[in-house]
Amino acid sequence: MSLLSASMILSGQANPLTSEMGDPINKGAQCTGPLFRQDTSTWQTVSLDGKGIKFKLPSDWRHDGFDMEAKHETYTIQEIDWNTPNKSLSQEEKIRIFTTVYHNGFLLFGHPMSREEMLGDKLDRVIGVAQTQAPGTSYSEAKTVTIGGVEGVFRLMRSPSQNKEVGPRLYLLWTGYRIYHGKAEEIDISISSAPKGEAFLRKVFSTLEVEQDKDPSRSRN
């Protein structure tokens, strides 16, 4: 199931665990080790063509080439993946970027929504999932984080796997909402690794740049 599908299915309640400012549920690991401090100047810069999204990755990471696009009446979804080569599934590190462009403004379950309403609903649903999470799965640090002026919902998810080849995984997730080229857009970013890779995931996340229209209120929708 894609991040978008999951976000459309999961439902939650108002958030008693965080303030309106999005204080973290848990502080999480303190990322002060040598990996987190490593110099990213030697990393490659990835710029997604026409999407206004940039990030840095170690030089051996590769675009896997299995991009996806699905067009619907009211929106178009695209997926782009980059990952580490020559690693087992249990040790693989990956970044996946889903962009959903709404043709006629933001929609939630078919209903028109503002960007602020989309953001608030997403945060409420993430908190709801964190409170009623499945056995073995844990969420932490559900809060709002802004990248380049684009507000989004940040969280960490630790998940077991029934597949022995994959094993337990750690996911750093961010879902942002912007107006870009006059269109309403939802961005889902997932960076994943083996459970002990949190410092590395945070380092990749810290390199993200996301653009939006200078005056988002001037949307054509």
Distance CA 12, CA 129 (A): 6
Structure token digits, residue 79: 């997926």
- Within 8 A by CB and 6+ apart from 179, the residues are 115, 185, 212, 213, 216, 217, 219
The SS3 assignment for 6 reads helix
- 72-97+106-212: CATH topology: Protein Transport Mog1p; Chain A (3.40.1000)
Residue 141: CB atoms within 10 Å? 19
| pTM given for the model | 0.80
* pLDDT given for residue 9 in this prediction: 28
Q: What is the pLDDT of residue 34?
A: 41
As averages over each run of 10 residues, the pLDDT of the chain (221 residues) reads 32 30 34 54 94 96 90 96 85 94 95 96 91 78 95 94 80 97 97 94 96 71 47
In the numeric block, which tokens belong to residue 214? 């200078």
| The pLDDT of residue 102 | 97
The full length of the chain comes to 221
The pLDDT assigned to 106 comes to 97
> For the chain, which residues make up each domain, given as ranges?
72-97+106-212
DSSP code for 207? T
For residue 193, the cross-strand partners are 170
Asked if 209 and 187 count as a contact pair (C-beta separation under 8 A), the reply is no
